[in-house]
């Protein structure tokens, strides 16, 4: 990958990095910010109650079905740092650390007390996370106790960054979902070396 900075994403993917859409490649070479509007929803009945509890723990506001949203992505040689901010000031901060290399390796996402082990599937230039295991405060959890996570990102309509994150639990169905189509804000190269505080 001539000209690509060596960071956690480019090193982990190796040659497969070129399978990402060019705009996703640019985002994960240099970092940057995305903004737009997201739709937020929870299930009904017990699924809704669990979804609302999960949203509170993650810092996702539920008082309106749509909110302004921005995510800032910063890379360094050891990790990707994501700071997601809703327009009410709520924040969801995650650090992703690579283990091994694509396709057999994985990422360790730390968000608050939770650590997720995530594989990656690539298709049509997009990136889908595949949950492999969960630990809470360092203790592994049986998969059936943790909601199934479905999360992806891809480019659509030429320049829109489409993403969705959904949590579901059998047999209740979907608990919580937030999704949107964001536009890129050009990255400041000086920001790429800055670590996002966790």
pLDDT tens digits for range 175-193: 999 999 999 986 554 444 3
Q: How many domains, the chain? A: 1
CATH number for the domain including 143?
2.40.128.20
Residue 186 is predicted with a pLDDT of 66
Q: Is residue 1 part of a domain?
A: no
Structure tokens at 139: 């203790």
What does residue 26 show for φ and ψ, rounded to 5 degrees?
A: -60, -40
* Residue 32 predicted with pLDDT over 60: yes
- What is the pTM for the complete model shown? 0.85
Q: Is residue 197 part of a domain?
A: no
Q: Is residue 196 part of a domain?
A: no
Residue 6 is predicted with a pLDDT of 81
Q: For residue 139, what are the domain limits?
A: 8-191
Q: Is residue 3 part of a domain?
A: no
Residue 195 is predicted with a pLDDT of 41
Q: Is residue 2 part of a domain?
A: no
Burial of 160 (0-12, 13-18, 19+ CB in 10 A): middle
């Amino acid at each position: 990958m001539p000209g690509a900075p060596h960071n956690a994403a480019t090193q982990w993917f190796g040659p497969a990095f070129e399978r990402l859409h060019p705009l996703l490649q640019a985002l994960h070479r240099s970092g940057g910010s995305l903004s737009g509007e997201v739709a937020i929803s929870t299930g009904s009945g017990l699924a809704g109650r669990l979804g609302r509890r999960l949203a509170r723990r993650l810092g996702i506001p539920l008082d309106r079905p749509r909110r302004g949203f921005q995510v800032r992505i910063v890379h360094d040689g050891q990790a990707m740092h994501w700071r997601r901010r809703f327009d009410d000031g709520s924040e969801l901060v995650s650090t992703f650390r690579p283990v091994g290399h694509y396709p057999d390796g994985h990422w360790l996402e730390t968000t608050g007390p939770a650590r997720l082990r995530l594989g990656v599937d690539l298709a049509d230039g997009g990136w889908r996370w595949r949950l492999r295991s969960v630990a809470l405060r360092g203790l592994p959890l049986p998969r059936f106790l943790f909601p199934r996570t479905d999360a992806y990102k891809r480019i659509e309509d030429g320049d829109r960054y489409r993403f969705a994150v959904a949590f579901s639990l059998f047999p209740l169905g979907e608990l919580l979902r937030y999704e949107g189509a964001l536009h890129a804000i050009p990255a400041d190269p000086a920001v790429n070396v800055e670590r996002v505080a966790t």
